[in-house]
Amino acid sequence: MFEPAYLKTIQEGSFQENITRARDLLKDCRVCPRDCGVNRLKDETGFCGLGADAMVASAHSHYGEETPLVGSAGSGTIFFTSCNLKCIFCQNYEISHLMEGEKVDNTELGRIMLKLQGMGCHNINFVTPSHVVPQILEAVHWAAGNGLRLPLVFNTGGYDKVETLELLDGIVDIYMPDLKFMDPKISKELMDAEDYPQVAQAAIAEMHRQVGDLQINEQGIATRGLLVRHLVMPDDLAETRKAMRFLAGISRNTYVNVMDQYRPCGRAIGRPGVHRSVTRDEYTYALEMAREEGITRLDDRVRPRIRFF
C-alpha cells in the first residue's frame, strides 16, 4: 500500500527541522538561485515579488497533465502566483508576470490540499513552487496532521537550488522539472537567467538522487520518481539533443514529456526567433533526437499533432 514520503519523515521527527531551516532561508532570501537577500518574513520583496505568504492563482482537478498524474480523477493542481524565471513566452503570463492570485496563509494552503484530496485527485501538484518552498513545507506538515495522504508533485521550471531541494528530501514524492534551455545566452535572453543550464542540470540530478526513476502502479498512476518536461522551441532554441543526452546520462529510464505546444505568448509575440509555433518537422525531429540519445520512455501523449502553424 502506498504511503507518501512525508509521513515517514514526520514520524522520524525531522520534518520540523526542515521547516525551521527553510524559514531561515526567507530571512535574507536564498530560497532560489536569484539569492535576492531580502527579508521576506518582514514582507520585503525581491525578484518573485512575494513576502511571507504564498499566493495562489487557482486550485483544481487538472486533466491536462502527463498521463501518469491524471488517471481517472485528475491531478490536484495548485497554481502559485509569480515565478523565479518569468520566461518572456510564459503561457501563464497573467499568473507569473502580472501576479494574479490571492494571498493564503500556510493553514489555508493546507486546507486547499485537503479539499483536492476530498475531490478524489490522485496527487497534490504544486505548480511553480520554487519561490514558496518554506510555505509549502509548513502547509504540508499541517495538512498531513489533518489527514493528507496523497503523493506530492513538485512541478517546477527547473531553476532550483540544490540546498533548497535537500529540504524536500523525504517529503516530495514526484519531481516534475522542466529542462528548458542548454545555452546560457538563450537563457539570459528569454528568462534573464544566464546560469539556468547549469542550475537546472544540478537540480535534476539531485531530484533523481532523491526519488529515482518514475514508478507507476498497477492503475497507471505515478507514485514516486522523476518526470522531466522539455518544450520544443522554434529553430531548436532548446537544443533538444543536448537536453536528451544529459537526461540519458542520469538514467536511460528517465520518463520525459517532449512537448509540442510552444506558441508565442506574453512578450514573445512578434519577437524574432520565438514569434511562431514549432512545425511538424521540428517536433518530429525532436522526438528522433530523444530516441537517438537513448530516451525511449516518453509520455504517451507524445505524438505529432494534427494541426501545426
Encode 116-131: b = buried (16+ Cβ within 10 Å), e = exposed.
bbeeebbbbbbbbbbb
Nearest to 22 by CA among 6, 41, 38, 7: 41
Q: Is 32 annotated as a binding residue?
A: no
Q: Is 87 annotated as a binding residue?
A: yes
C-alpha 294/C-alpha 22 separation (Å) is: 37
The contacts of residue 29 (CB under 8 Å, 6+ apart) are 35, 36, 37, 38, 39, 40, 46
Helices 133-145 and 106-118, axial angle in degrees (round to 10): 60
Q: Is 48 annotated as a binding residue?
A: no
Count of C-beta atoms within a 10 Å radius of residue 296: 12
Q: How far is CA 54 from the centre of its chain?
A: 16
Looking only at Cα atoms, what is the longest distance across the chain?
54
Q: CA distances (Å), 11 to each of 6, 56, 165, in order?
A: 9, 29, 20
**Which residues are documented as binding site for [4Fe-4S] cluster?**
83, 87, 90
The binding site comprises 83, 87, 90
